[in-house]
Amino acid sequence: MPLKILFMGTPQFSVPILKSIKDSNHEIIAVYTQPPKKKFRGQKIIKSPIHQYAEKLKIPTRCPENLNSESECSFIKNSRADIAIIVAYGKILPPKILNLPHIKFLNIHASILPKWRGAAPIQRAIMNKDKETGISIMKIVEELDAGPVMKFVKIDIKKNSNYGSLSQEMSILSALTIIDCLDIIENKKEKFIPQDNKKATYAKKINKEETKINWNETAKNIIAKINALHPNPGCWFKLDGSRIKVIEAKEINTQGKPGEVINNQFTIAGSENSIQILKLKKEGKNIMTASSYLMGNKLKIGRNLNEI
């Protein structure tokens, strides 16, 4: 029989997965997502991507501030759901919900567990210059991302992969894989394999201090960070009083003092080799090529950006 499903997700990453389940023979009872938030200068209230998409599909949507409330626990308990699928929801499920015996709680996690448990697995994999990553379909337990895994699928991290492009690939992969898993569960053939906790690594949340470029790092590490943080929150440095966000750069086999402007092609030295900035975004301006920026801004060769 088709499964009855509760879906819990918030960002754009979750949308293709919700669509895939909606297009299957399984039934979505309700969608949970983060409450609408005030954003931008006008403090306009914005619904999450999942909220907007669920409303478009006319699926009942719930946005509780507190999952621990009696009303939410009662709703989930009495929902007749067989499965709850959680994809970047952004809230921790309390034990009294997780321990409901008639519901399987599955999480789609964007790494090959037990590597990169935690909040920023895609960004940390790119920043670490990993050659591959993937998705894991796992049972949720109280410990963070430590539940047994039903299925994982690997994906290569290409040289030019960034957070935006890789997360899109992984979202589509997740959308296909979750249907396979639901069909296996429907036929009662699922198997969950415990993780090796000794091999666990953690993908801590990106903090603001990390987003500023440190020219004392190698060019490879700087570019890995630029890719890992694009498009959001972005990697930046200060120049002439403005914040410059680097959109795209490449490594150049040229040496100099870390932070030194090497030439008039926007090449800046790291501790090993240099990076040439190809695209950038000046504070308050649109994205532009480095050559366009240099047409209206002078860049003194020999200047050291570490001294700004």
Q: Are residues 215 and 133 in the same domain?
A: no
d(C-alpha 134, C-alpha 143), whole Å: 21
Domain boundary among 203, 222, 241: 203
Which band of pLDDT confidence, cut at 50, 70 and 90, is reported for residue 44? Answer: confident
Q: Are residues 35 and 170 in the same domain?
A: yes
Q: Are residues 74 and 125 in the same domain?
A: yes
Q: Are residues 97 and 177 in the same domain?
A: yes
Domain boundary among 203, 234, 249: 203
Q: Are residues 167 and 24 in the same domain?
A: yes
Which band of pLDDT confidence, cut at 50, 70 and 90, is reported for residue 41? Answer: low
Residues 81-90 have pLDDT tens digits of: 999 999 999 9
Q: Are residues 119 and 253 in the same domain?
A: no
The neighbour count for residue 298, using CB atoms within 10 Å, is 8
Question: Domain containing 267: what range?
Answer: 208-307
Residues 128-184 have pLDDT tens digits of: 999 999 999 999 999 999 999 999 999 999 999 999 999 999 999 999 999 999 999
- Decide if pLDDT at 39 tops 80: no
Number of separate domains in the chain? 2
Q: Are residues 25 and 40 in the same domain?
A: yes
Please tell me the predicted confidence (pLDDT) of residue 38. Answer: 78
Q: What is the CA radius of gyration of the chain?
A: 22
Q: Are residues 8 and 127 in the same domain?
A: yes
**Is the model's pTM score more than 0.85?**
yes
Q: Are residues 23 and 139 in the same domain?
A: yes
In this structure, what token pair is assigned to residue 236? 């930046």
Task: Specify whether the CB–CB gap between 104 and 84 falls below 8 A.
Answer: yes
Which band of pLDDT confidence, cut at 50, 70 and 90, is reported for residue 40? Answer: low
What are φ and ψ of residue 283, in 5° steps?
-50, 125
Residues 69-120 have pLDDT tens digits of: 999 999 999 999 999 999 999 999 999 999 999 999 999 999 999 999 999 9
CATH of the domain at 146: 3.40.50.170
Short-list 84, 248, 230, 236, CA closest to 167? 230
Domain boundary among 203, 221, 243: 203
CATH of the domain at 267: 3.10.25.10
Residues 9-25 have pLDDT tens digits of: 999 999 999 999 999 99
Q: Are residues 11 and 146 in the same domain?
A: yes
Q: Are residues 53 and 28 in the same domain?
A: yes
Percentage of the chain surpassing pLDDT 90? 93
E strand spans, the chain? 4-9, 27-32, 37-39, 44-46, 61-62, 83-87, 104-109, 117-118, 132-139, 149-156, 202-203, 235-239, 242-252, 261-263, 267-269, 274-282, 287-289
Q: Are residues 186 and 248 in the same domain?
A: no
